[in-house]
Chain A
Amino acid sequence: MISDGVEDEEKWLTAGIAGLQQNAFYMHRALDSNNLRDALKYSAQMLSELRTSRLSPHKYYELYMRSFDELRKLEMFFKEEARRGCSIIDLYELVQHAGNILPRLYLLCTVGSVYIKSKEAPAKDVLKDLVEMCRGIQHPVRGLFLRSYLSQVSRDKLPDIGSEYEGDADTVIDAVEFVLQNFTEMNKLWVRMQHQGPAREKEKREKERSELRDLVGKNLHVLSQIEGVDLDMYKDTVLPRVLEQVVNCKDELAQHYLMDCIIQVFPDEYHLQTLDVLLSACPQLQPSVDIKTVLSQLMERLSNYAASSAEVLPEFLQVEAFSKLSNAIGKVIEAHVDMPTIGVVTLYSSLLTFTLHVHPDRLDYADLVLGACVKKLSGKGKIEDSKATKQIVALLSAPLEKYNDIVTALKLSNYPRVMEYLDTETNKVMATVIIQSIMKNKTCIETEDKVEALFELVKGLIKDLEGNHQDEIDEDDFKEEQNSFARLIQMLYNEDPEEMFKIICTVRKHILTGGPKRLPFTIPSLIFSCLKLVRQLQGQDENPFGNETSTTPKKIFQLLNQTIEALSSVPAPELSLRLYLQCAEAANDCDLEPVAYEFFTQAYILYEEEISDSKAQVTAIHLIIGTLQRMHVFGVENRDTLTHKATGYSAKLLKKSDQCRAVYACSHLFWVDDQENMKDGERVLLCLKRALRIANAAQQMANAARGNTGSVTLFVEILNKYLYFFEKGNPQITVSTIQGLIELITTEMQSDTTTPDPAADAFFASTLRYIQFQKQKGGAISEKYEPIKV
């Protein structure tokens, strides 16, 4: 049976604590009775529990902390003893009689602390003695904890500037030397830990080592807290000594942690002023050290420092921080040949953030960084690693966030080259990010060149890149991205029609490559962008410069026509029809009859040839009627042709009710309110009568098929049309026809075969109320209505 290691450890810890408590008890008794001999004896025995090799660092720490608390009491006692006249020097010797080294050194540090406080000897001498004597513990864990104890008890007794322990003989240099030495020894012990014990437990040991790292790092923290460590001392003594140890220890874990520690604990301005030294250490680290994180941390800190205040920026320029960092990164990447892509990108991403913060005016620096990144990525193909991809997105997003203006980013020639390395999916994500940035900041893209540049960036949305993965794409995602791209088209705008036309042509060129799935999203956006330009030109005189190449509505309409045609490949007849009608209306406003006629023709052709679904037909016919009604550009002949066709289509709809409604809608085609030559009362009446006939037929059909006549809604609707034209003064609509219709409806409603329909009843009732109201309103209208009886 193999015993459970964890369980055993727990047992040993319990035993250790028990031993410790027992001896602590006797120690307390000795302290209470001022028995120095016994106090020393039992404290040494108590500390002997720390000699164990059986505990993991985690458990050992628990034991250590308990001892630490007990030693505070002993220290108080020593202080008392010293006050009572016991020579502290004798005490300092006395504790050294202990035969076991570990208890001896814990006691020595404890007395040493009192010794310094008594000022009977220069602090530096005592400190030096203590840190030297601690060499006797070569066991890594025990040594680390002992030295940690030393560091702890000496912290407030360093001969720092302004400290009470500073004197002629004790200077801050001594304090620094002491901490540096303790740091060096601790790091050596820490690094050595990995070689202790069997190789198969290496992973466990590395974990344990990691748990101990803060004991080592604490020294750096102490150094950073020493008042007397000014920039000069940091530069001349502290940093070189620390780095020497970091480089020489040749240990991955230690190097990474300590570099990080240096960056975190010392002030930013020190880093800035010692950038050379700090950076020159980087290529000397072990190849396995995660140097990118270290450098990224450094750059992040410096970036934040730069962002904290504009006053510090000159410092950055003075020390040429950018070129130094840039060089260092180059060297590190060169030195680590097999650095993964994520590493490379992270480094450049950090550098970019740095330069954006520190040199917002130096766009060339940013481009340089991107260029360098491209260079390192070249030959690696698309990046597969998802983390690396994320980093590239971060890298590319940084300039957008900083400048809040894509136009600035478009000046970065290497920007699209970096994007090349993204996989299709991420490329799209990035494109969406760019578009969102534009939308958020309402950035207007004003020139054809910029549009070209921008489209280069978002080309992942414009067309399929390398191999069609359409099948895998989520329909909703696709819609969203295309909608966002469609919105982008609206942001491409220039007041100057010439430039705007160029932009439109460019956009058109690109979107036409998008394939059938994208066109229904992109083309409408472009069409409306064009129409906006048309509206702008429409007020101006034709061809203001007399220049053949200048932009005219005609030219735009040609383009529009061709563009909508492209949708036929999709096919998207309903959408095309709508767009044709929109264009026709615009042409109408520009007084271009042939153009408008052409658009209508196209729309009709689509209706006849492509739109076969009855519901779609109903929608389409109403759109056609509505648009046609508003057209005023047509001469009699063209108009007749178009209205004739429209009424024809209406009568051929499938469902009778649809036929009826379309036909009565057609009545409006012959009666345009503000146009005197467009009031053909007879044909209006013809339409309405035809509608009535259809409504009748519909009822009969219903009766035949289902045994009841269905609703009277259609009749009420027709009645309303009658009233409309009656009011508008159509002479063909007479009181008697209206009267007749009302009676017809009333009879129908009372008929047994009619299905009761509350909605229709209400509709009819409110129509009658309207008539009543008009009758009582007074004036010409009332007179007109007077004869109608309800």
Chain B
Amino acid sequence: MDFLVGAFKPPCNVSISFVDTKTRKQVPLKKDNGQTIMVPLFQSQENIIGEVLIEPTQGKKFEHNGVKIELLGQIVRELDVPGELFERKTYQFEFSTVEMPHESYNGINVRLRYILKVTIGRNYISNIVECQDFVVRNFTPPPSINNSIKMEVGIEDCLHIEFEYGKSKYHLKDVIIGKIYFLLVRIKIKNMELEIRRRESTGSGPNTYVETETLAKFELMDGAPVRGESIPVRLFLSPYELTPTYRNINNKFSVKYYLNLVFVDEEDRRYFKQQEITVYRLLES
């Protein structure tokens, strides 16, 4: 039995660890199988330092064609020349000031992942591969220009409003302050909501796929206003799982955010006006 089991088991255990595992922030990451695991968080130009531990099972020796570690898609480091491995061996590795301009992203049709991959090359039989995910988040300083969004819109002889959101760019924990001013109301409004919508587009040209999700539905007003009423807007973004706005990442995909102001009338007809906002990640102090 032991023999049989041993035949299908990998001949060694491979594990990757980081030097600063204890101090580094961990963030949740959703895996393909739906499980959420905690992974370390990095940002661009950080050093990624750690070690790979390879331990042959049952103290047996095995041959290999060399050991390498790669930061997937980017950098490869040779860790060992071909040879034999018969006891536990640790390889240090370091990727210094790695440029990681794009953040990890887990969307509907697109994912952006960062992975450390250790490969133990072997002859005639398949290589031994071990992967370690990590997350990259990049911080942005507050924008120097951040204009308000202000606009007068309406449906002729039906509804005229003027709305104003204090800013056009919001960080992830920001709060949207604004007001809706009613210039003309001829429909029987039941309520008014502010939605936050995420628009993820992948591919390009005729092969563009667009997915839109409503992340927040926030009731702003209950009942029918009359002309001259001004309704305050105050929406805290922190409860919602937003990401920064991503524009044309590697010519592969974009993620954009919109504020959608929706009026519902007594016959449940919906009137709306959508405005794009930019979301960014502000360095948490």
| Assembly CA distance A104 to B217 (angstroms) | 13
Contact of A139 among B217, B223, B236 (CB under 8 A): B223
Distance to closest chain A CB from B278 (angstroms)? 22
Mask: chain A, 129-142; 1 = CB below 8 Å from B; 0 = not:
00011011111101
Mask: chain B, 233-267; 1 = CB below 8 Å from A; 0 = not:
01010110000000000000000000000000000
Mark out the residues of chain A between 91 and 105 whose CB falls within 8 Å of any chain B CB in the assembled complex: 93, 96-97, 99-102, 104
Confirm or deny: A51 has a beta carbon within 8 angstroms of a beta carbon on chain B. Answer: yes
Distance to closest chain A CB from B170 (angstroms)? 16
| Assembly CA distance A139 to B232 (angstroms) | 15
**Residues B236 and A97 in contact, CB atoms below 8 Å apart:** yes
**Residues B221 and A136 in contact, CB atoms below 8 Å apart:** yes
Confirm or deny: A192 has a beta carbon within 8 angstroms of a beta carbon on chain B. Answer: yes
Question: Given that A96-B234, A99-B218 are contacting pairs, would A138 and B223 also be in contact in the complex, using a CB cutoff of 8 Å?
Answer: yes
Residue with the greatest number of chain B CB neighbours at <10 A, chosen from A139, A142, A188, A196: A139
Confirm or deny: B231 has a beta carbon within 8 angstroms of a beta carbon on chain A. Answer: yes
A-side contacts of B221, CB under 8 Å: 101, 136-138
**Residues A99 and B220 in contact, CB atoms below 8 Å apart:** no
B-side contacts of A93, CB under 8 Å: 236
Confirm or deny: A228 has a beta carbon within 8 angstroms of a beta carbon on chain B. Answer: no
Mark out the residues of chain B between 179 and 233 whose CB falls within 8 Å of any chain A CB in the assembled complex: 191, 216-226, 229-232
Distance to closest chain A CB from B118 (angstroms)? 42
| Assembly CA distance A192 to B229 (angstroms) | 13
Confirm or deny: A143 has a beta carbon within 8 angstroms of a beta carbon on chain B. Answer: yes
Number of cross-chain contacts by CB at 8 Å: 54
**Residues B219 and A138 in contact, CB atoms below 8 Å apart:** no
Distance to closest chain A CB from B145 (angstroms)? 27
Question: Given that A99-B218, A99-B219 are contacting pairs, would A138 and B236 also be in contact in the complex, using a CB cutoff of 8 Å?
Answer: no
**Residues B219 and A135 in contact, CB atoms below 8 Å apart:** no
Contact of A100 among B219, B229, B231, B236 (CB under 8 A): B219
| Assembly CA distance A100 to B224 (angstroms) | 16
Residue with the greatest number of chain B CB neighbours at <10 A, chosen from A136, A188, A196: A136
**Whose C-beta in chain B lies nearest to the C-beta of A108?**
B234
Mark out the residues of chain A between 49 and 65 whose CB falls within 8 Å of any chain B CB in the assembled complex: 51
**Whose C-beta in chain A lies nearest to the C-beta of B223?**
A139
Distance to closest chain B CB from A561 (angstroms)? 87
The range of chain B's interface size is 20 to 34
Mask: chain B, 3-31; 1 = CB below 8 Å from A; 0 = not:
00000000000000000000000000000
Distance to closest chain B CB from A133 (angstroms)? 6
Question: Given that A99-B217, A133-B232, A133-B234 are contacting pairs, would A139 and B222 also be in contact in the complex, using a CB cutoff of 8 Å?
Answer: yes
B-side contacts of A140, CB under 8 Å: 223
Mask: chain B, 60-98; 1 = CB below 8 Å from A; 0 = not:
000000000000000000000000000000000000000
**Residues A101 and B219 in contact, CB atoms below 8 Å apart:** yes
A-side contacts of B224, CB under 8 Å: 138-139, 196
Mark out the residues of chain A between 110 and 141 whose CB falls within 8 Å of any chain B CB in the assembled complex: 132-133, 135-140
Question: Given that A96-B236, A101-B221 are contacting pairs, would A135 and B229 also be in contact in the complex, using a CB cutoff of 8 Å?
Answer: yes
Distance to closest chain B CB from A14 (angstroms)? 23
| Assembly CA distance A505 to B212 (angstroms) | 109
| Assembly CA distance A188 to B231 (angstroms) | 15
Distance to closest chain A CB from B31 (angstroms)? 27
Distance to closest chain A CB from B238 (angstroms)? 8
Distance to closest chain A CB from B225 (angstroms)? 5
**Whose C-beta in chain B lies nearest to the C-beta of A138?**
B223
Distance to closest chain A CB from B96 (angstroms)? 40
The range of chain A's interface size is 20 to 34
**Whose C-beta in chain A lies nearest to the C-beta of B230?**
A135
**Residues A192 and B219 in contact, CB atoms below 8 Å apart:** no
**Whose C-beta in chain A lies nearest to the C-beta of B235?**
A96
Question: Given that A97-B239, A133-B234 are contacting pairs, would A138 and B220 also be in contact in the complex, using a CB cutoff of 8 Å?
Answer: no
A-side contacts of B229, CB under 8 Å: 135, 138
A-side contacts of B222, CB under 8 Å: 51, 101-102, 136-139, 142-143
| Assembly CA distance A289 to B232 (angstroms) | 35
Contact of A135 among B191, B231, B238, B239 (CB under 8 A): B231
Question: Given that A97-B239, A99-B218 are contacting pairs, would A137 and B223 also be in contact in the complex, using a CB cutoff of 8 Å?
Answer: yes
| Assembly CA distance A406 to B125 (angstroms) | 132
**Whose C-beta in chain A lies nearest to the C-beta of B189?**
A138
**Whose C-beta in chain B lies nearest to the C-beta of A188?**
B226
**Whose C-beta in chain B lies nearest to the C-beta of A189?**
B223
Residue with the greatest number of chain A CB neighbours at <10 A, chosen from B219, B221, B226, B238: B219
**Whose C-beta in chain B lies nearest to the C-beta of A100?**
B219
Residue with the greatest number of chain A CB neighbours at <10 A, chosen from B219, B222, B234: B222
| Assembly CA distance A101 to B218 (angstroms) | 8
**Whose C-beta in chain A lies nearest to the C-beta of B220?**
A136
**Residues A135 and B232 in contact, CB atoms below 8 Å apart:** yes
| Assembly CA distance A97 to B240 (angstroms) | 10
**Whose C-beta in chain B lies nearest to the C-beta of A103?**
B219
Question: Given that A97-B239, A101-B219, A101-B220 are contacting pairs, would A136 and B226 also be in contact in the complex, using a CB cutoff of 8 Å?
Answer: no
| Assembly CA distance A80 to B216 (angstroms) | 31
**Whose C-beta in chain A lies nearest to the C-beta of B228?**
A188
B-side contacts of A99, CB under 8 Å: 216-219
**Whose C-beta in chain B lies nearest to the C-beta of A105?**
B222
B-side contacts of A138, CB under 8 Å: 221-226, 229, 231
| Assembly CA distance A192 to B188 (angstroms) | 13
| Assembly CA distance A101 to B225 (angstroms) | 15
Distance to closest chain B CB from A785 (angstroms)? 115
B-side contacts of A135, CB under 8 Å: 229-232
Mark out the residues of chain B between 122 and 164 whose CB falls within 8 Å of any chain A CB in the assembled complex: none
Distance to closest chain A CB from B274 (angstroms)? 19
A-side contacts of B236, CB under 8 Å: 93, 96-97
Distance to closest chain A CB from B232 (angstroms)? 6
| Assembly CA distance A137 to B225 (angstroms) | 9
**Whose C-beta in chain B lies nearest to the C-beta of A132?**
B232
B-side contacts of A51, CB under 8 Å: 222
| Assembly CA distance A135 to B234 (angstroms) | 12
B-side contacts of A188, CB under 8 Å: 226
**Whose C-beta in chain A lies nearest to the C-beta of B224?**
A138
| Assembly CA distance A137 to B219 (angstroms) | 10
| Assembly CA distance A100 to B222 (angstroms) | 9
Residue with the greatest number of chain A CB neighbours at <10 A, chosen from B221, B223, B224: B223
| Assembly CA distance A295 to B220 (angstroms) | 43
**Whose C-beta in chain B lies nearest to the C-beta of A102?**
B222
B-side contacts of A100, CB under 8 Å: 219
**Whose C-beta in chain A lies nearest to the C-beta of B239?**
A97
| Assembly CA distance A97 to B235 (angstroms) | 8
Mark out the residues of chain A between 405 and 447 whose CB falls within 8 Å of any chain B CB in the assembled complex: none
B-side contacts of A102, CB under 8 Å: 222
Distance to closest chain A CB from B45 (angstroms)? 34
Distance to closest chain A CB from B159 (angstroms)? 14
| Assembly CA distance A104 to B239 (angstroms) | 15
Distance to closest chain A CB from B195 (angstroms)? 11
**Residues B223 and A142 in contact, CB atoms below 8 Å apart:** yes
A-side contacts of B217, CB under 8 Å: 99
Distance to closest chain B CB from A402 (angstroms)? 50
Distance to closest chain A CB from B196 (angstroms)? 11
Mark out the residues of chain A between 135 and 183 whose CB falls within 8 Å of any chain B CB in the assembled complex: 135-140, 142-143
A-side contacts of B225, CB under 8 Å: 138
Distance to closest chain B CB from A55 (angstroms)? 15
| Assembly CA distance A67 to B260 (angstroms) | 32
| Assembly CA distance A100 to B229 (angstroms) | 20
Distance to closest chain A CB from B103 (angstroms)? 25
Given contacts A99-B218, A101-B221, A143-B222, 9 further A-B contacts (CB under 8 A): A93-B236, A96-B234, A101-B220, A101-B222, A138-B223, A138-B225, A139-B224, A140-B223, A143-B223
List the 5 shortest-distance A-B pairs measured between CB atoms, nearest first: A139-B223, A138-B223, A101-B219, A138-B225, A97-B239
Show 28 residue pairs from A and B whose CB-CB distance is below 8 angstroms, ordered by the A residue: A93-B236, A96-B234, A97-B238, A97-B239, A99-B219, A101-B191, A101-B220, A101-B221, A132-B232, A133-B232, A133-B234, A135-B230, A135-B231, A135-B232, A136-B219, A136-B220, A136-B221, A137-B223, A138-B221, A138-B222, A138-B223, A138-B225, A138-B229, A138-B231, A142-B222, A142-B223, A188-B226, A196-B224
